[in-house]
Amino acid sequence: MSTLETVAKRIAKLFRLLGSDIDGEVQGAVNAMKRLLASEGLSFTDIAIVIENANGEIEELKYSDSDAQAIFARGVERGRDEERREQSAPPEFYDADGRPRWHEMAVFCRDQTGQLRSDWEKKFVDDMVGKTLQRMPTDKQAKYLFAIFVKLGGPYDAKTARLYC
């Protein structure tokens, strides 16, 4: 830390003490600031000029152009990551083209049936495990199975959810 930074930090510390509720602290801060400024060849007028030239901005809260560019780049990358996640469904439950693997979903649901309250849902899931080995579920069955899958915490992407919810 340079000497100027050290002096600036000491002045800031003393300046903060001016807000104290204790009169002795305030007077002590003023006296200490007068001594510090005098030893550095500065005056209260110099401090006022620094404050005026800040254009009402608090230095700690300002961002440089490079900070702004870095923040923007991180935001763009996060957006791309989220888009990739939305577009790529977990491979254990979805084909490469995004179609659900109904049998795997039914097995997942069967393994989680302890979380289901409805006897109808438990029986439905058990039936679907066998049926999805031989054929695709009907639209109505697919909707119910997908809803149960999601309810039990199965992973899904936004595109598939729009199709079946």
How many separate domains does the chain show?
2
pLDDT tens column, 90-113: 567 877 777 888 999 999 999 988
Is 68 a member of any domain?
no
Name the phi and psi angles at 134, rounded to 5.
-100, -30
Determine contact, residues 157/87, Cβ cutoff 8 Å. yes
Residues 107 and 55 in one domain: no
Residue 144 domain boundaries: 102-164
pLDDT tens column, 24-81: 888 998 999 899 888 888 888 888 887 777 665 555 556 667 777 878 788 888 877 6
How far apart CA 80 and CA 45 sit, in angstroms, is 51
Is 137 a member of any domain?
yes
Whose tokens are 């790529």? That residue is 88
Is 86 a member of any domain?
no
Say what the alpha-carbon torsion angle 126, 110, 106, 134 is, to the nearest 10 degrees.
-40
Is 65 a member of any domain?
no
Is 151 a member of any domain?
yes
Is 87 a member of any domain?
no
pTM over 0.75: no
